[in-house]
């Protein structure tokens, strides 16, 4: 029997780092934060950004599920509603492409349209692209948008607490938010369209990447079943 609440993927998620919110008063005291464009060490020149990403110490933050939960206020201050809504829509698109059948994919795409219509900046261009050949649009749009938003992210080696490890270094919280979503740290419920984090325990211990709770999964499948029944009934009456 298929477990509808099982996870789709179990990819290891890298640590995603980004700078602390800049202290503008301190930067002005220090001349506006102007620095050399390279750092010299061991007779070799290194990009200044490469050194800063290694040597920020306590001024570096790690993007975790806390920014979608207990530290959501910080996320709202440093990212836009536009980008947060777009992430919710993109995660739905992923499931539309991998949908079990055309009926469920179409239902998910209808939810994407409804979600995007709530935000004028997204509606005009994206909704138009989703008309017709929806699965193919989802296949192209999902990686293109994430790649564009993460193009300034870099892979860096990090040394902390005596441990060496590669991390994804992002220039700001917006880029870190997209990187976290790209590695499936956050998902959008197919039933209620609410964002939820995969590594945060849920009230009913659900492990699904599709639904925030088991109850939402049941409601979604019942809705799809009723739609199929209605379509079959219309087909017989013709």
Both tokens of 8, joined, read: 């789709």
* Top-ranked range on mean pLDDT: pick from 7-16, 29-38, 84-93: 84-93
Mean pLDDT of 83-93: 89
C-alpha separations of 111 from 12, 41, 88, 127, 139 in Å = 29, 53, 10, 11, 17
Whether the per-residue pLDDT at 195 is higher than 70: the answer is yes
| Contact predicate 185/197, CB 8 Å | yes
Does residue 75 fall inside a structural domain? yes
Nearest Cα neighbor of 197 from 57, 69, 54, 48 is 69
Mean pLDDT of 20-31: 52
pLDDT band at 129 (very low <50, low <70, confident <90, very high): low
Q: What is the pLDDT of residues 143-178, one digit of tens each?
A: 888 999 999 999 988 777 777 888 999 999 999 999
pLDDT value for 119: 65
Residue 66 lies in a domain: yes
Domain that holds residue 66: 45-227
Across-strand partners of 197?
186
Q: Which residue's structure tokens are 């979600």?
A: 115
Q: Which of 227, 226, 190, 236 is nearest to 209 (CA)?
A: 190
Total number of domains constituting the chain? 1
Q: Is 64 a domain residue?
A: yes
Residue 186 lies in a domain: yes
203-214 pLDDT tens trace: 888 888 889 999
**Eight-state DSSP code of residue 117:** H
Q: Is residue 83 part of a domain?
A: yes
The 3-state DSSP composition of the chain as helix, strand, coil percent (nearest 5) reads 50, 15, 35
In Å, the largest CA–CA distance within the chain is 81
Structure tokens at 15: 């640590």
Q: Which of 177, 170, 175 has the alpha carbon at shortest distance from 156? A: 170
- 31, part of any domain: no
- Whether residue 204 lies inside any domain: the answer is yes
| The pair of three-digit structure tokens given for residue 142, joined into one six-digit string | 């999902």
Residue 123 lies in a domain: yes
């Amino acid at each position: 029997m298929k477990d509808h609440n099982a996870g789709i993927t179990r990819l290891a998620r890298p640590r995603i780092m980004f700078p602390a919110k800049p202290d503008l008063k301190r930067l002005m005291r220090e001349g506006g934060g102007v620095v050399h464009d390279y750092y010299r060490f061991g007779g070799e020149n290194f990009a200044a950004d490469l050194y800063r990403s290694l040597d920020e110490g306590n001024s570096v933050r790690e993007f975790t599920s806390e920014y979608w939960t207990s530290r959501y206020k910080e996320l709202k201050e440093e990212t836009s509603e536009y980008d947060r809504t777009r992430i919710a829509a993109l995660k739905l698109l992923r499931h539309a492409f991998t949908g079990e059948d055309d009926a469920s994919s179409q239902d998910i795409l209808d939810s994407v349209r409804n979600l995007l219509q709530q935000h004028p900046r997204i509606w005009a261009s994206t909704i138009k692209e989703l008309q017709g050949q929806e699965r193919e649009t989802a296949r192209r749009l999902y990686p293109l948008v994430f790649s564009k938003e993460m193009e300034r992210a870099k892979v860096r080696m990090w040394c902390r607490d005596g441990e060496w490890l590669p991390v994804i270094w992002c220039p700001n919280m917006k880029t870190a938010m997209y990187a976290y979503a790209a590695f499936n740290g956050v998902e959008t419920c197919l039933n209620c369209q609410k964002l939820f984090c995969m590594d945060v325990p849920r009230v009913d211990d659900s492990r699904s990447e599709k639904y925030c709770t088991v109850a939402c999964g049941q409601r979604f499948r019942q809705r799809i079943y009723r739609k199929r029944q209605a379509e079959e009934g219309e087909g017989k009456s013709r």
